[in-house]
């Protein structure tokens, strides 16, 4: 761009806060947000119940209420994937993206606000979903459960919460990239449920991919010197998420909408 | 016939249908390639392994995700648009003006999806089995008369799964939920498989029963269901779901 | 102040040239009509002006600043493109609220604009249940939220009933009379002739006429005749 008269830019502070307020307002006024979060919570509880019953039959190989209560998360994460994709792709319904970019023309700021908002909404929802599953398992198993320290429970729960939040952000980035709900859902779920697990079985390097690295944050991995530790997993998944958001940002800034 | 041609054309003009085709063919053949070369490695190392009876078939059970996408987008595209232009351009209104009878519209749609899923299954099965043969070479099990009913089973399974996806989407009118549920359940360890750990009745859920048509050895499973019974159970599920979908579709506002 | 200046705007998509050097101005205190047949490049010009699309070359400025650099976009420019610009699952009020928040506007302003466009009674209904005309009214309400100095409207009368058309005509005249800038595109000549002061006619990505209504109508009987004379021959 050549020399335009110095644009009087609004102070970053209020503009960023307003973008955040607008994005938050968008997310909470979308019925799909609440339906997805509520549906995920219910489905997770049902699956957690199923795992717990299987645990009572002794077919889970563990008696830890934390492990059994969190086992369902690997399925319930589909709900968080959907939420992320919907948050991103809902912009493309009814031409809303034009309203968004006319109201908030600084695209990098708007997209950052959108991801930040999503994290703000998802973190408590993920914590509640994960904790309710563990509470259910602990309640049903009662004294038959293997005792675990509260430190272990807290570590597992915070790992799951962070994992689900990052997964949601990855899904939102893919949604923003693809701009079509169904295609984005197919890509992300296909990766997390089909391609990821199969790669994990066949290629050692797959442990650094987002899904395996993320699992390491909360899923008990066999003791193995080369295994990814929870902290490393968290760093890897954060790096993947940030990298993806940066790529999306670069494309989003230049793209005709 | 003209309505069927129109529906077939509608399907072929959806980009997502071509994604479904690519997924349906690539997923099983690539995985089959990877597992077959692992098996070959074990054989040449002299580990005494032989290719399992389900080589190729196992992978085709994952490839069904292509049929799922096909069934979902085949109908969700009628309801849901993400076009840049003014929202709400729902194709269903146009479709029902062209074919006023709802039931006939639905039947035509079902036929188009069933035919497309069958074609996809045949291509995917041929590619996957071809890949296995090429990779394993002389070590591959020869396809015999036994395999004919099994391959027919694969095609049936894919067609039925596409129709299940279709039926659920007619009820939800939006593709995301059926897509999520069905893809999550195509995972390496499926939810329905886990349910069989709780109750043997779960073996009669559509996918668990349906895979018996072509899978001979289910891991850690003691309940024996013959291929024919499995097929019939899945047929019953699909039939019931489609009847419910048809009732809902003909009774409600478009 | 409040001048829109389009200067030698070129837009290519692949090998297709959509805009081949568009230049014109829209001035305050006047309603400028931006005319052309479908596919002439009206919407592309407006989208570039609003920072939605990027120009291959040339500039589109608002008070000599590109839209994306405006300090307070909503209070400077109100824009309505085709459709409602709202997600079908949200209520009309919820849609206006998030837009208001993006500019730090008070929520009372939402009710004001709903009142102005006559959507107060439908504000709690989902946008998906709106008629075409109601969607347009919501789009207009969004454009008016920041009480902007400049209004940019793409085909504003599309989908409006006769009442709505008369209302918008009066409304736009009042905006211009109070010294603000109004730029509207249309392919409906009859509606436009009674609303605009200045006319820019484009065809196949080029400006074929630019001037006051009288200048452009010239020797022709009506604006419509002038329009067809200008656009069907391909050259002025």
pLDDT at B89: 54
Residue A208 CB partners (closer than 8 Å, separation 6+): A228, A236
Task: Report pLDDT digits (tens) over A34-44.
Answer: 999 999 999 99
On the 0-12 / 13-18 / 19+ scale of CB atoms within 10 A, C131 is exposed
Kindly tell me if the per-residue pLDDT of B88 is higher than 70. Answer: no
HSE-up of C180 (CA within 13 Å, CB side)?
19
Q: Contact at 8 Å (CB) between A71 and A51?
A: yes
Confidence class of residue A247 from pLDDT cuts 50, 70 and 90?
A: very high
Domain boundaries, position C175: 4-232
Kindly tell me if the per-residue pLDDT of B154 is higher than 90. Answer: yes
* Cα B246 to chain centroid, rounded: 20
Q: Contact at 8 Å (CB) between B35 and B103?
A: no
In chain B, the number of structural domains is 1
Nearest to A69 by CA among A151, A143, A156: A156
CATH number at residue C200: 3.40.50.300
Residues C26 and C24: their CA atoms lie apart, in Å, by: 7
Closest chain A C-alpha to B76 CA, distance in angstroms: 9
Nearest to A29 by CA among C88, C110, C107, B83: C88
Concatenate the DSSP letters of all residues of C172-221 into one string. HHHHHHTT-EEEEEES-HHHHHTT-SEEEEEETTEEEEEEEHHHHHTTSS
Say if A24 falls within a structural domain. no
Q: Which residues of B touch C128 (CB under 8 A)?
A: 87-88
pLDDT at B85: 40
Looking at the complex, does the CB of residue B88 fall below 8 Å from at least one CB of chain C? yes
Task: Report pLDDT digits (tens) over C46-97.
Answer: 999 999 999 999 999 999 999 999 989 999 999 999 888 999 999 999 999 9
Contact A29 C74 (CB under 8 A): no
B15, B70, B193, B194: best mutation site toward chain A, by most A Cβ within 10 Å?
B194
**What's the distance, Cα to Cα, between the start and end of chain B in Å?**
24
Residues A107 and B220: their CA atoms lie apart, in Å, by: 53
Residues A44 and A126: their CA atoms lie apart, in Å, by: 11
Chain C neighbours, 3+ Cβ pairs < 8 A: A, B
In chain A, the number of structural domains is 1
Contact C88 B85 (CB under 8 A): no
Say if A100 falls within a structural domain. yes
Concatenate the DSSP letters of all residues of A18-46 into one string. HHHHHHHHHHHT-HHHHHHHHHHHHHHHH
Question: Coil, strand or helix: which one is A179?
Answer: coil
Phi, psi angle pair for B178, to nearest 5° = -60, -40
Rg of chain A, C-alpha, whole Å:
20
pLDDT at A188: 94
Q: Which residues of B touch A183 (CB under 8 A)?
A: 16, 19
Residues C158 and C145: their CA atoms lie apart, in Å, by: 21
Looking at the complex, does the CB of residue B219 fall below 8 Å from at least one CB of chain A? no
In A, minimum Cα distance to C81 occurs at A98
Report DSSP state, residue C11.
Answer: E
Kindly tell me if the per-residue pLDDT of C154 is higher than 80. Answer: yes
Strands C198-203 and C31-35: parallel
Residues C41 and C47: their CA atoms lie apart, in Å, by: 10
Domain boundaries, position A169: 30-254
Kindly tell me if the per-residue pLDDT of B191 is higher than 60. Answer: yes
Q: Contact at 8 Å (CB) between B32 and B56?
A: yes
Contact C135 B85 (CB under 8 A): no
Concatenate the DSSP letters of all residues of A142-167 into one string. GGGSBP--HHHHHHHHHHHHHHHHHH
DSSP helix, strand, coil percent of chain B (3-state; round to 5): 75, 0, 25
Looking at the complex, does the CB of residue C203 fall below 8 Å from at least one CB of chain A? no
Residues C55 and C174: their CA atoms lie apart, in Å, by: 32
Looking at the complex, does the CB of residue B87 fall below 8 Å from at least one CB of chain C? yes
Q: What angle do CA B92, B93, B96 make, to 5 degrees?
A: 80
Kindly tell me if the per-residue pLDDT of A218 is higher than 80. Answer: yes
pLDDT at A221: 63
pLDDT at C207: 94
Residue A170 CB partners (closer than 8 Å, separation 6+): A84, A188, A210, A240, A241, A244
Say if B219 falls within a structural domain. no
Task: Report pLDDT digits (tens) over C102-131.
Answer: 999 998 999 999 999 999 999 999 998 998
pLDDT at C233: 60
- B residues 54-73 near A, CB within 8 Å? 62, 65, 69, 72-73
Q: Contact at 8 Å (CB) between A91 and A97?
A: yes
User: Considering chain C, what is the average pLDDT of its residues?
Assistant: 91
Q: Contact at 8 Å (CB) between B214 and B57?
A: yes
Say if B218 falls within a structural domain. no
Lowest mean pLDDT segment, chosen from B51-65, B82-96, B141-155: B82-96
Say if B112 falls within a structural domain. yes
Task: Report pLDDT digits (tens) over C16-38.
Answer: 999 999 999 999 999 999 998 88
Q: Mutual orientation of helices A107-141 and A73-89 as an angle, nearest 10°?
A: 160
Domain boundaries, position B68: 2-186
Task: Report pLDDT digits (tens) over B102-140.
Answer: 888 899 999 999 999 999 999 999 999 999 989 888 777
Lowest mean pLDDT segment, chosen from A181-185, B47-51, C15-19: B47-51
Mean pLDDT in residue range B191-200? 82
Q: Contact at 8 Å (CB) between A23 and A103?
A: no
Residues C122 and A183: their CA atoms lie apart, in Å, by: 33
Closest chain A C-alpha to B28 CA, distance in angstroms: 11
Kindly tell me if the per-residue pLDDT of C177 is higher than 70. Answer: yes
Q: Contact at 8 Å (CB) between B14 and B38?
A: no
Question: Coil, strand or helix: which one is C4?
Answer: strand
Confidence class of residue A165 from pLDDT cuts 50, 70 and 90?
A: very high
* Per-residue CA distances from B149 to B52, B73, B231 (Å): 18, 29, 11
Lowest mean pLDDT segment, chosen from B58-62, B77-81, B211-215, C120-124: B77-81
- B residues 127-146 near A, CB within 8 Å? none
On the 0-12 / 13-18 / 19+ scale of CB atoms within 10 A, C86 is buried
pLDDT at B11: 87
Kindly tell me if the per-residue pLDDT of A52 is higher than 80. Answer: yes
Contact B23 A47 (CB under 8 A): no
In B, minimum Cα distance to A194 occurs at B187
Report DSSP state, residue B139.
Answer: G
Q: Which residues of A touch C103 (CB under 8 A)?
A: 18, 103
Lowest mean pLDDT segment, chosen from A7-21, C113-127, C165-179: A7-21
Residues B67 and B88: their CA atoms lie apart, in Å, by: 27
Contact A198 B195 (CB under 8 A): no
Contact C69 A9 (CB under 8 A): yes
**Is B93 or B90 the better-scoring residue by pLDDT?**
B93
Size of interface A-B (CB pairs under 8 A): 97
Say if B171 falls within a structural domain. yes
pLDDT at B82: 59
Say if A151 falls within a structural domain. yes
Contact C88 B87 (CB under 8 A): yes
Which of A19, A94, A107 faces C84 most closely, judged by CB atoms? A94
Phi, psi angle pair for C149, to nearest 5° = -75, -25
pLDDT at B86: 39
Say if B238 falls within a structural domain. no
* Per-residue CA distances from A139 to A103, A120, B195 (Å): 49, 29, 21
Kindly tell me if the per-residue pLDDT of C216 is higher than 80. Answer: yes
* Per-residue CA distances from A12 to A100, A132, C71 (Å): 18, 39, 11
pLDDT at A7: 41
Kindly tell me if the per-residue pLDDT of A112 is higher than 90. Answer: yes
Residues B102 and A58: their CA atoms lie apart, in Å, by: 50
Say if A8 falls within a structural domain. no
Residue A197 CB partners (closer than 8 Å, separation 6+): A211, B187, B188
Lowest mean pLDDT segment, chosen from A60-64, A117-121, A139-143, A198-202: A60-64
* Cα A95 to chain centroid, rounded: 26
Q: Which residues of B touch C84 (CB under 8 A)?
A: 86-87
Q: Which residues of A touch C83 (CB under 8 A)?
A: 94-95
Q: Which residues of C touch B85 (CB under 8 A)?
A: 82-83
Tokens of C33: 């009509």
pLDDT at A135: 93
Residue B50 CB partners (closer than 8 Å, separation 6+): B43, B139
In chain C, the number of structural domains is 1
B32, B180, B195, B196: best mutation site toward chain A, by most A Cβ within 10 Å?
B180
Question: Coil, strand or helix: which one is C7?
Answer: strand
pLDDT at B99: 67
Residues A7 and C62: their CA atoms lie apart, in Å, by: 11
pLDDT at A117: 97
pLDDT at A1: 39
Kindly tell me if the per-residue pLDDT of A2 is higher than 50. Answer: no
Say if A194 falls within a structural domain. yes
Q: Which residues of A touch B88 (CB under 8 A)?
A: 94
pLDDT at A13: 65
Contact A54 B184 (CB under 8 A): no
pLDDT at A254: 86
Looking at the complex, does the CB of residue C135 fall below 8 Å from at least one CB of chain B? yes
Looking at the complex, does the CB of residue B22 fall below 8 Å from at least one CB of chain A? no
Strands C4-13 and C31-35: unpaired
Question: Coil, strand or helix: which one is C123?
Answer: coil
Percent of the residues in chain B that have a pLDDT greater than 70, as a whole number: 93
Residues C180 and C97: their CA atoms lie apart, in Å, by: 25
Q: Contact at 8 Å (CB) between A18 and C100?
A: no
């Amino acid at each position: 761009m050549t020399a335009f008269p110095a644009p009087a830019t609004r102070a970053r502070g209020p503009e960023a806060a307003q973008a955040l307020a607008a994005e938050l307002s968008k997310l909470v006024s979308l019925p799909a947000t609440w339906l997805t979060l509520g549906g995920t919570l219910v489905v997770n509880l049902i699956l957690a119940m199923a795992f717990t019953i299987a645990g009572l039959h002794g077919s889970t190989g563990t008696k830890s209420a934390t492990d059994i209560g969190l086992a369902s998360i690997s399925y319930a994460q589909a709900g968080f994937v959907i939420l992320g994709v919907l948050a991103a792709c809902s912009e493309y319904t009814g031409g809303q993206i034009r309203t968004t970019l006319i109201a908030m023309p600084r695209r990098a700021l708007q997209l950052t606000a959108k991801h930040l908002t999503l994290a703000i909404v998802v973190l408590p929802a993920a914590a509640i979903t994960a904790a309710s599953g563990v509470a259910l398992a602990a309640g049903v198993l009662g004294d038959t459960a293997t005792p675990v320290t509260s430190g272990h429970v807290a570590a597992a729960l915070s790992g799951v919460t962070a994992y689900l939040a990052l997964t949601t952000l990855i899904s939102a980035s893919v949604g923003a990239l693809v701009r079509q709900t169904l295609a984005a859902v197919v890509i992300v779920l296909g990766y997390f449920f089909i391609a990821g697990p199969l790669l994990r079985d066949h290629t050692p390097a797959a442990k650094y991919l987002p899904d395996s690295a993320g699992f390491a944050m909360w899923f008990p991995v066999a003791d193995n010197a080369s295994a990814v530790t929870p902290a490393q997993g968290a760093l890897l998944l954060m790096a993947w998420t940030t990298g993806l958001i940066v790529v999306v940002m670069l494309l989003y800034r230049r793209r005709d909408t | 016939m003209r309505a069927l041609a129109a529906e077939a054309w509608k399907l072929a003009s959806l980009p997502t249908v071509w994604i479904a085709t690519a997924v349906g063919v690539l997923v099983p053949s690539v995985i089959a390639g990877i597992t077959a070369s692992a098996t070959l490695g074990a054989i040449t190392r002299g580990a005494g392994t032989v290719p399992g009876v389900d080589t190729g078939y196992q992978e085709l059970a994952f490839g069904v995700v292509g049929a799922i996408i096909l069934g979902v987008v085949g109908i969700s595209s009628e309801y849901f648009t993400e076009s840049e232009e003014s929202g709400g351009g729902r194709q269903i209104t146009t479709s029902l003006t062209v074919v006023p009878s709802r039931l006939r519209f639905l039947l035509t749609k079902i036929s188009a999806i069933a035919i497309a899923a069958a074609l996809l299954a045949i291509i995917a099965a041929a590619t996957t089995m071809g890949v296995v043969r090429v990779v394993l070479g002389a070590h591959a099990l020869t396809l015999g008369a036994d395999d004919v009913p099994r391959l027919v089973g694969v095609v049936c399974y894919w067609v039925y799964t596409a129709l299940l996806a279709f039926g659920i989407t007619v009820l939800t009118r939006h593709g995301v939920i059926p897509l999520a549920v069905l893809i999550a359940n195509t995972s390496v360890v499926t939810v329905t498989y886990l349910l069989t750990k709780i109750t043997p009745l779960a073996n009669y859920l559509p996918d668990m029963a349906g895979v018996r048509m072509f899978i001979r050895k289910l891991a850690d499973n003691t309940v024996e269901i013959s291929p024919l019974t499995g097929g019939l159970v899945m047929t019953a599920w699909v039939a019931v779901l489609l009847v419910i979908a048809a009732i809902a579709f003909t009774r409600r506002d478009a | 102040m409040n001048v829109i200046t389009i200067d030698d705007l070129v837009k290519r998509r692949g090998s297709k040239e959509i805009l081949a050097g568009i230049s014109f101005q829209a001035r305050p205190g006047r309603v400028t009509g931006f005319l052309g047949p479908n596919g002439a490049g009206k919407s592309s010009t407006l989208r570039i002006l609003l920072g939605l699309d990027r120009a291959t070359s040339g500039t589109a400025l608002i008070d000599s600043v590109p839209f994306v650099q405006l300090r307070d976009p909503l209070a400077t420019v109100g824009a309505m493109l085709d459709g409602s610009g709202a997600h079908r699952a949200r209520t009309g009020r919820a849609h206006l609220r998030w837009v208001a928040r993006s500019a730090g506007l008070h929520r009372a302003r939402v009710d004001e604009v709903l009142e102005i466009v006559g959507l107060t009674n439908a504000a709690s209904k989902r946008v998906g249940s709106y008629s075409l005309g109601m969607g347009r009214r919501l789009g207009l309400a969004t454009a008016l939220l920041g009480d902007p100095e400049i209004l940019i409207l793409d085909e504003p009368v599309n989908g409006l009933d006769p009442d709505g058309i008369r209302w918008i005509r009066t409304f736009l005249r009042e905006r211009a009379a109070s010294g603000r800038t109004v730029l509207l595109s249309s392919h409906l000549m009859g509606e436009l002739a009674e609303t605009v002061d200045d006319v820019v006619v484009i065809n196949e990505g080029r400006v074929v006429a630019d001037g006051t209504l009288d200048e452009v109508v010239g020797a022709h009987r009506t604006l419509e005749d002038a329009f067809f004379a200008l656009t069907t021959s391909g050259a002025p």
